[in-house]
Every structure is written in C-alpha cells, then in structure tokens.
Structure 1
Amino acid sequence: MLKHKSFGKVPTYIEKFKVEMQMTKEKKDEDRAKARMPPGTRLMTEDERIHTLEELQRQKCEISTLLFSIPLSCKTEALKLRKRDLEIKLVEIDRAVTTFSRKIVYIKDDGKELAPNTIPLEVAYQKPPMAGLRVKRPETAGRK
C-alpha cells in the first residue's frame, strides 16, 4: 500500500479555516464584553486593581489606628464629630474594598491609565488632619 508524502497531515486550507474561526470567535467575545461595559467606562487592569486594593488596606489601617486612639468617652463635640467622620470613612473604605475585590471592575474612562501610586477618585479620601484630635496624655490625665 503506497502512501503519499502528506499522508496524515492536515491540509493548509483547513489550518487557515481554523485560524479564521478562532479570530472570529475572539472578536465576538470582545464585542460581547464591550456591549456589557457601561458607557464612559473601561475595564480596570489587574495590576491597577491589586494596587488599589493594597492602597485601600493601608488607608484602612491608618483610619483604624486613628479611630482607636480616640478616647472611649468622647465628651466634646469636636471629638464626637471626629469619631463619626472616621467611622464614615472606614465604612466607605470597606465598601471600596468590596468593590475592588471583584475580578471585573469598570472605572470611569478618562483616556489614561492610573499611575502606579494613585487610586480612583471615587474611592480616595483626604487623610484627616491630626490637629483636631486631642488625646489625654498619662501625665496630664489627673490634672484639671
């Protein structure tokens, strides 16, 4: 039984057809993803998402430290307001962590990617100033 030289090999036209089918499938998948994307947004890259999560965790630790440094008995309105503001910021950060923990995150598309040391403005907050926080020191706690 004689066999020709290309016996058992896939013909080139079939290989081309497979490549074209793969490209068509990828294009359809990409179009579906774009159709699901809300207008004016873009998909956040994995590096941006991870960096944002790390930054949020760092900010959460800072806020928690500030919150725990406030005395338990807040007698002045300034301390009560300060504590309430810190608690609100902590809740906002927790919500942002929940959002950025998802695998797919859409952010506002402004035509540029995030710099490595920034997070989106929707999640960022201003670090609270330390001047308004008064903590009793042990040496002055007994004096009035």
Structure 2
Amino acid sequence: MSASVGYRRRDANASDAIAAILHPDEGFREKQQRKGVTPRDFERENKLRVKKLQAENRERRRREDATEQQEFKLTRFKSVRPRVFREDEVQRKLSQCSSTSGEQGKKHEFLRRGGRSSSFASAPGSSASSSSWAPSAPRSEPRSISRLQSPSHSTTSSGSRRHIHRKSPVPSLRELERRDEQLAKITKKERVDFVNANAWEVIKKAPSVRIEEQQPHPLNRNFGRIPRYLLERKEQWAREEEERRKNAPDPDCPPGMVLLDEDERVLTLNVLQKSLTEAQLRMNTLPLRIETLSQIRRKNELESKLQVIEDAIKVFDRAKVYVAAPLGSDPENNRERTASIAA
C-alpha cells in the first residue's frame, strides 16, 4: 500500500474529521487560537521595533548636536587664546624676566681688589682652595664694617671660612628701565586685537583684478549690431499689428456699416472735388437769360447735382466715413459706387 493511500485513510479515520467539517478553520493563526496558543502579533512587533530605532536615532542625533554646539567656534577665532589666560601669561613672562635679571646679578658678583686681605685674616692651616673662591667685601665698605663677622662669616678652628649667603643686588636704574620697556612691550602686544585688525584689513582691501579681465577679448565683427533676423522679426510684428488694428472692429461703427479705408476716402474726395469743378463750369456756360424749357430743365439738373456733390464732400471730408456693409465687401463695387456718386 502506498504512502498517499495510507495518509488518506488516516485523515478520513481521524477523530476530529467531523469537528473540522462542522467548524472549518481559516488559517494557521485560527488553529493556534483553538489550541489555546496566542499567535504572535508581528505587525505590532515591527511597529515597536521601528519606534525603538527612531528613539535611538533621535538620541544619537541629540548627542551629536550637543557635541557640535560645545565644540563650535568661528573659523577666525580658532587660533585665538581666551582672555582668561592673559594675566597668567603676563605674570609668567614677568617672572621669567625677574629670574633672568636675578641670575645676571648673581653672575656679576666679582671679587674686588684688596677685599680678601682686609676683610678676613688667613689662618696658617687654611688651604689655598678655600681662600680662592670666597668672595670679598666691596671696596666702598669701611674696614670696621667689613671686619665684623656675622654668624654666616664665622671661621672654624682650622681658620677656614664658611660660604657667605648674599641677597640679590638692587637693580640699577638702567635695569629698571629695561624691565619697564619689556613689560610695556608684553602688555602692548597682548592688547592688540589681531582678529579684528585682520577683518578690517580684508574689508578695506581693494578687490583683486583677475587676469582674464585685464586681457582684452577679441571682438566679433558684428559686435554691437542687432542681428538681421531680429530686425525682420520686428518688421513682421509691426505688419501683423497693423493688420490686426485695421481688421479690428470699430466700436463707433453703427450696425450694418463698415469703416471706409483712408485711401478710398481720399480718392473719393478727390473725385468729388473734380466733379464739383466740372459741374460749376457747366453751370457757368449757361446763358444769362434762361427762357426755354430745355434751358430751365438743364439749370435745375446742374443745381441739384451741385447740391449732391457738396453734401458728399462734407461727408467724405470727415476723419471716419462709414458705408453700408455690402459696399465694403467688394472693392470694385466701392469704386463703382464712388464713381456714380461723383458723376
């Protein structure tokens, strides 16, 4: 018997087969709940893990910002020492200066001529080495004072003298002046604000001229000229604007009428003036005595024609002349109408 047949028989004969049919499950988590096992909420765990990472990142960023704020210093003040150390530095330099001057005073304590024989009596048993390094009293001191022996000047039974401890000599006036000059230089040097001085030097400094600006650039032969295509484009725009202005409807034009072109108006006015001149000549050729019917009819026709021409001249002499719309649609009809009016 195969394994698949055995599995089917085992599943069919299972004790919970009827329960599974009556209460089907919809997934692995529901099976766990039926068994009494609480399934893991992976979504909640992921959210908690993300929140934990966010909190750690915020804490790390806060520590970095705090460190940067503590260590922040302007670039031009990085090499500047704080002012709190100025007095210590001055005191240190002054102490060095005083120690140097004290050493120089000790260095120049020379033996004076005749001081050894007049100050101390050499004993017979004293060695030559002990009498050679002992300093003598100054010549300016009296013999009575130099002969007085202090506890430090007391001699031994063998006649040798102990080492004499002397104070540092009083500095001379020249030494005091030199110390004052050194102190003034030190204090003056410390009071100079080099950072501010450098900043003002940069501000007042003239801008450097670049090498490219100094060298003349080769100019094009058309330098300073407007390109031809731009001129043509401007002319085209002007023509289009003129056409648009001409074709734009006149707000003063009454309905059913169109504005007569300026050229046509001037041409019509010239024709009317010529017709007026011809009509006046014909009127002047009539006899003084008009008696026949033909003469009377001719005179009436000429007078009516003169009146019509004068009225037409008044109309076409205006700046704007409006004509009927059919007349404006065809230029040939306009010319014929103008000729008929002039005739």
User: How does the TM-score come out when normalised to structure 2?
Assistant: 0.26
Displacement of 1:119 in angstroms is 5.5
Residue 285 of structure 2 aligns with which residue?
Answer: 69
Mapped pair 1:99 → 2:315: yes
Question: Which secondary structure does the structure 2 equivalent of 1:124 belong to?
Answer: helix
- Unmatched tracts of structure 1, length 5 or more: 1-22, 127-144
**Aligned AA for 2:263?**
D
Change (3 A) 1:122 1:113: same
8 A Cα contact 1:55 1:119, kept in partner: no
Mapped pair 1:85 → 2:301: yes
8 A Cα contact 1:60 1:90, kept in partner: yes
Percent identical residues = 31
Change (3 A) 1:97 1:112: same
Mapped pair 1:109 → 2:325: yes
Change (3 A) 1:119 1:95: farther
Question: Which secondary structure does the structure 2 equivalent of 1:120 belong to?
Answer: helix
**Aligned AA for 1:70?**
L
Change (3 A) 1:61 1:82: same
Mapped pair 1:48 → 2:48: no
C-alpha distance in 1 between matches for 2:334 and 2:258: 19
Mapped pair 1:124 → 2:337: no
C-alpha distance in 1 between matches for 2:280 and 2:290: 17
8 A Cα contact 2:283 2:299, kept in partner: yes
Displacement of 1:118 in angstroms is 2.4
Number of residue pairs matched? Answer: 98
**Aligned AA for 2:329?**
K
Change (3 A) 1:98 1:57: same
Question: Which secondary structure does the structure 1 equivalent of 2:337 belong to?
Answer: coil
Residue 141 of structure 1 aligns with which residue?
Answer: none
Query: Radius of gyration: which is bigger?
Result: 2
The structure that is helix-richer by fraction is: 2
Q: Quick one: which of 56, 59, 65 aligns to 2:275?
A: 59
- Unmatched tracts of structure 2, length 5 or more: 1-240
Displacement of 1:56 in angstroms is 0.2
Deviations 1:27-54 (A, max 9, x none): 9xx56x33x3111110001000000000
Residue 253 of structure 2 aligns with which residue?
Answer: 37
Change (3 A) 1:59 1:101: same
Change (3 A) 1:116 1:61: farther
Displacement of 1:91 in angstroms is 0.7
Change (3 A) 1:87 1:73: same
Question: Which secondary structure does the structure 2 equivalent of 1:75 belong to?
Answer: coil
Deviations 1:116-141 (A, max 9, x none): 99253697165xxxxxxxxxxxxxxx
Change (3 A) 1:121 1:57: closer
User: How does the TM-score come out when normalised to structure 1?
Assistant: 0.58
* Bigger relative CO (Cα 8 Å, ≥ 6 apart): 1
Q: Deviation above 2 Å: which 4+ runs of structure 1?
A: 111-123
**Aligned AA for 1:61?**
T
8 A Cα contact 2:272 2:342, kept in partner: no
8 A Cα contact 1:96 1:123, kept in partner: no
